[in-house]
Structure 1
Amino acid sequence: MNRYKKLGWNTFIIGIGSMGSKFMIFLLVPFYTFYLSPSEYGQADILMMTISILIPIVTLSIADGVFRYTMDKASKKQVFSTACMILLIAGTILILLTPLLRSVPMLQNYYGLFLTLLIVQLWNTLFQQQVRANGKLILYSVSGLLMSGVLLVANVIFLKYYDMGVDGYLYANLLAFAVNTLVLFFGAKLYKLFSFRAVNKALLKKMLIYSLPLIPNAILWWVMQVSDRYILTFFLGIAANGLYTVAAKIPSLLSMLSSIFFQAWSISAIGEKLKQNDSFFTGVFTLFSCLFFVATEGIMLIVQPFSAILFSSAYHGVWQYVPFLLIAVLLSSFSSFLEVSYMVEKKTKQLLFTSLKGSVINVGLALLLIPTIGILGASIATLAGFLVTWLLRMKQIQFFNQIEFKKMFWMSMGLLITQSVYLSFAGNPSWWVQGMFALGLFVCQSTILVKKFGAFRGSKKVSQEGMVNR
């Protein structure tokens, strides 16, 4: 199968399931704004974000090692069993630390739910990576669709009919993740891969050498995505975090596409051991960037009326915080694309330096800007952090010269950043000005696509003539 077609097929299959669950989370945002106050939504979001950062720390990011070494054709039973032992130990330690963790003010009222949800998500992360590495992408997608259905029904029951507030939000997520975890475990017959005898210390050492550097990288990535919310809560209160959380959900449409593509892209890149100077690598980046430039522009155009229609009146003003967050997600997606290059080479340590510098910029600017200009400062800080990270990774793997159609690429980036500044500070942006930005970007991207597909046809013709001459 043609490499582009295979990547497209994998993206489609993963997208079916992931789009279901991730899009459902996005569609539930208006629902949450009607049944949760800004302070309640802010509290629920802080708890879920805390779980997301604890997962790589508690598990030593072993799930990433499972994916990488299973793709390397190592013994699936040894890889999976070794990872399971890490999770069993991690779960035991968490339970033993209950008296200490229960004393954390943020967790006191929700500790039982918080701990249960954390442990379920630990196993869910491992099972997802194993199933994906095993190539069972249809099961992966079906389980995602089922999870989205459970999440919808559970939220309606717990929030609308029982009015359970933050507890209901957590119960709905717990039920959805539990169903997804069980479907993956039994659907892929993962129980057949586990054996205490298959635990391999030598393999564990190799997996940890690969996965341990990903822990601080995940923390630093999380710092850029989430630390602003803690700083907002400290300076402006939990309600301000609730507003920012809703604003961040709109760019999640873009990050949803990015995460789907990244899962398929990592399978292709690692499976074929691609180098960043491979024509397939650069060709995919060209098409990937075109899609994301256009998608970002599309969301930019509708964000203001979209917010007024979907969200309750308490959240109508959040659209002003979205443009910078959209560019941040765009840059984060580009960074994730390049991250695969590090995974192929197993050079995960090098990721730390780029993420560290980006997170320092993010936190520093957030501390400076949030007290000065409020919630908008958090958006600007996030954009700056991801911009620095992306540029450093481009420099580190020497990808600046690999970009195709450079002038059009950088012109598109400049147009989007300028438009985001205009939208965030204009107050009442003009549709005419918006249209001019959109037209400029679409001309740039259309030019790139025409030239790219022209090159495809040319190379295909040369290949066919070569076969005829033989």
Structure 2
Amino acid sequence: MNRYKKLGWNTLIIGLGSMGSKFMIFLLVPFYTFYLSPAEYGQADLIMMTVSILIPIVTLSIADGVFRYTMERASKKQVFSSACAILLIAGLILILLTPLLKTIPMIQDYYWLFLLLLLVQLWNTLFQQQVRANGKLILYSVSGLLMSAILFVANLVFLKYLHLGVDGYLYANLLAFGFNTLCLFFGARLYRLFSFRAINKPLLKKMLIYSLPLIPNAILWWVMQVSDRYILTFFLGVAANGLYTVAAKIPSLLSMINTVFFQAWSISALGDKIKNNDSFFAGVFTIFSSLFFVATEVILLIVQPFASILFSSAYQNVWQYVPFLLIAVIMSSFSSFLEVSYMVEKKTKQLLFTSLKGSIINVCLALLLIPFIGIIGASIATLVGFLITWLLRMKQTNFFGQLEHKIVFWFSLGLLLAQSIYLSLISTPNLWIQAIFAVALLIGQSIVIKQIVVRKRKVQVSNN
């Protein structure tokens, strides 16, 4: 199996599970808008986002070390057992800190649910990375599909029939993540990999040297993705954050694609030790960027009628915050693509420079723009932050010179940005103007796709 087919197969298998659960979360957004007020949705989202940022901090990002060193064919038992030791200590510390943590206003009313969610997701993150590194992608996918089904049923029961509000939202997520964690643990027989005797301090030290720089990187990445919501809440209240959260769910369609691809891409890149100067690296990026450009154009065409049909009246205008967030997801995805080259080289420290610059710009712009232009200021700040990060990584990896079809690439990116500005300023988009943007982009991408097909045929002929 050649490298393209192997990458495609891994993407398909991971996508069946990951896309199922992530797409279910997306489909539940209209449901949430009917059963949660903007203030309630904003509160629930802040709790879940707080859990997500605490995971790499509390675990020292050890799950990333597990994936990297398992892929390097180190002893699975020693790698897994050493990581479990970190999580056991982390869990104990969290429990001991309960009297202090319960005083935090944002989570005070939901503390025990918050703590359980955090503990469950700590182990879920570790188990997912171990299962993925072990190559058990079918189990990974099936457990994801089952998790999405449980999430749907639990939300239906807790929100629609029991009317539990924010509590119901958190209960549903706890039940779904708890099931997924147990499914991975027993399905992959991870209990066979754990032993206190297998804890290897020298190996653990190597893993931490690799994973520790990823903690500030994860924090800074989170700052660019989520900090705007805290700033919005501070200046405009939790209701504004609820609106912004719903708007951000639409670009999550692109984030789903990126998450699935990144998981498959990291397996291929680490397994085959693919570097950024490899022609395969540039070829995959060309296909990846073309897919994202076309998908973004499709969403821009349908975002306004889509929002009016699916969301309740309280959320009708959120679509105007979406275009800049879509471009931000493109920039984030391109940055993640290049991140794999840092992982291959074990140069995780260099990621900090790019993430730090982008996050500082993001926060500064959010503080500057949100008080004056409101929610759309958060969208602009997020876009600029990820754009700076991506450009810095392009420069740091010397990828500008290896970029294929440069004219079409920059033309397509500029076209999408211009269309986003147009949609954000116009309350009722003109269909003809939208069509012009779409046709121009599709013509450009069709040229790229045609050249990819021609090149592939030439390779096949030369191999025969």
Question: How far is 1:277 from its partner?
Answer: 1.1
Residues of 2 paired with 1:425 and 1:389: CA distance?
A: 26
Question: How far is 1:372 from its partner?
Answer: 0.6
Query: Quick check: 1:436 aligned with 2:451?
Result: no
1:25 maps to amino acid:
I
Partner of 2:371: 371
Residues of 1 paired with 2:14 and 2:275: CA distance?
A: 24
2:171 maps to amino acid:
Y
Question: How far is 1:157 from its partner?
Answer: 0.4
Task: Report runs of 4+ in structure 1 exceeding 2 Å deviation.
Answer: none
Q: TM-score, normalised by structure 2?
A: 1.00
1:392 maps to amino acid:
L
1:130 maps to amino acid:
Q
Partner of 2:386: 386
Residues of 2 paired with 1:175 and 1:276: CA distance?
A: 41
Query: Quick check: 1:306 aligned with 2:306?
Result: yes
- Pairing of 1:5-44 with structure 2 (within 5 A): 5-44=5-44
Residues of 1 paired with 2:109 and 2:161: CA distance?
A: 22
Partner of 1:467: none
1:222 maps to amino acid:
W
Partner of 1:271: 271
1:253 maps to amino acid:
L
Partner of 1:94: 94
Q: TM-score, normalised by structure 1?
A: 0.98
Count of residue pairs the alignment pairs up: 464
Query: Quick check: 1:139 aligned with 2:166?
Result: no
Residues of 2 paired with 1:180 and 1:389: CA distance?
A: 33
Question: How far is 1:331 from its partner?
Answer: 0.7
Residues of 2 paired with 1:389 and 1:196: CA distance?
A: 41
Query: Quick check: 1:77 aligned with 2:77?
Result: yes
- Pairing of 1:28-67 with structure 2 (within 5 A): 28-67=28-67
2:169 maps to amino acid:
Y
Partner of 1:160: 160
CA deviation vs aligned residue, 1:390-435 (integer Å, no higher than 9, x gap): 0000000000011111000000000000000000012221111111
CA deviation vs aligned residue, 1:35-57 (integer Å, no higher than 9, x gap): 00000000000000000000000
Partner of 1:244: 244
Partner of 1:118: 118
Partner of 2:426: 426
Unmatched tracts of structure 1, length 5 or more: 465-470
2:63 maps to amino acid:
A
SS at match of 1:403: coil
SS at match of 2:105: coil
SS at match of 2:109: helix
2:390 maps to amino acid:
W
Question: How far is 1:8 from its partner?
Answer: 0.4
Residues of 2 paired with 1:198 and 1:78: CA distance?
A: 5
- Pairing of 1:174-193 with structure 2 (within 5 A): 174-193=174-193
Residues of 2 paired with 1:343 and 1:63: CA distance?
A: 13
Query: Quick check: 1:410 aligned with 2:414?
Result: no
Question: How far is 1:107 from its partner?
Answer: 1.1
Residues of 1 paired with 2:121 and 2:49: CA distance?
A: 12
SS at match of 2:275: coil
Unmatched tracts of structure 2, length 5 or more: none
Partner of 1:468: none
Query: Quick check: 1:104 aligned with 2:104?
Result: yes
Residues of 2 paired with 1:462 and 1:134: CA distance?
A: 35
Residues of 2 paired with 1:113 and 1:346: CA distance?
A: 36
Question: How far is 1:251 from its partner?
Answer: 0.2
RMSD: 0.4
- Pairing of 1:249-398 with structure 2 (within 5 A): 249-398=249-398
2:228 maps to amino acid:
D
2:449 maps to amino acid:
L
Residues of 1 paired with 2:107 and 2:421: CA distance?
A: 37
2:32 maps to amino acid:
Y
2:96 maps to amino acid:
L
1:459 maps to amino acid:
V
Question: How far is 1:377 from its partner?
Answer: 0.2
